[in-house]
């Protein structure tokens, strides 16, 4: 199976096109403390998931690039990115991670030394990983 087919499977498997029901970056106007705790847990969990990605893939980040900036995004995005990078390693063994971040409510994936097919996969992932609830 090639990387394009695998990426499509990753998108379906992790339901990347499903949207959040709340914006983790905005406070509820009601002032509910339960909402604050829910968001605190959300950010702690996503921070831990980002740390795990960095520990696993940090050697692929060249000097002066920022690597990952995904705190606040849904858990399934972290898992999908990890699976994609594992497949990318098979397709483009010399790839580099420049930046993978949230910007304007969606994932932005900047890589180096990837194949043309891998770049098409990045476009597919970015198109699937969009959520207006992530705009802050």
Per-residue pLDDT of the chain in tens (136 residues, 90 and over written 9): 799 999 999 999 999 999 998 888 877 666 555 677 778 888 999 999 999 999 999 999 999 999 999 999 999 999 999 999 999 999 999 999 999 999 999 999 999 999 999 999 999 999 999 999 888 7
**Residue 8 forms part of a structural domain:** yes
**pLDDT confidence of residue 76:** 96
Residue 73 is part of which domain span?
Answer: 3-14+31-134
The alpha carbon of 131 is separated from its chain's Cα centroid by a whole number of angstroms, namely 12
**pLDDT confidence of residue 26:** 77
**Residue 124 forms part of a structural domain:** yes
**pLDDT confidence of residue 32:** 58
**Residue 24 forms part of a structural domain:** no
**Residue 60 forms part of a structural domain:** yes
Let me know how long the chain is.
136
**Residue 44 forms part of a structural domain:** yes
**Residue 19 forms part of a structural domain:** no
**Given the structure tokens 């996969």, which residue do they identify?**
121
Q: How many domains does the chain have?
A: 1
**pLDDT confidence of residue 106:** 93
What residues have CB less than 8 Å from 24, skipping those under 6 apart?
A: 39, 42, 43, 72, 133, 134
**pLDDT confidence of residue 70:** 95
**Residue 25 forms part of a structural domain:** no
**pLDDT confidence of residue 30:** 63
Residue 110: enclosing H or E segment and its boundaries? strand 106-112
């Amino acid at each position: 199976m090639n990387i394009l087919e695998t990426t499509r499977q990753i998108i379906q498997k992790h339901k990347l096109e499903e949207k959040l029901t709340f914006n983790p970056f905005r406070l509820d106007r009601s002032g509910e403390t339960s909402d604050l705790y829910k968001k605190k847990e959300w950010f702690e969990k996503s921070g831990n998931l980002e740390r795990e990605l960095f520990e696993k893939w940090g050697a692929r980040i060249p000097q002066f690039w920022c690597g990952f900036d995904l705190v606040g995004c849904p858990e399934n995005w972290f898992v999908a990115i990890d699976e994609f990078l594992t497949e990318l390693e098979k397709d483009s063994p010399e790839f580099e991670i420049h930046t993978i971040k949230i910007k304007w409510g969606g994932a932005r994936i900047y890589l180096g030394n990837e194949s043309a097919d891998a770049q098409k996969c990045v476009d597919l992932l970015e198109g699937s990983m969009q959520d207006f609830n992530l705009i802050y």
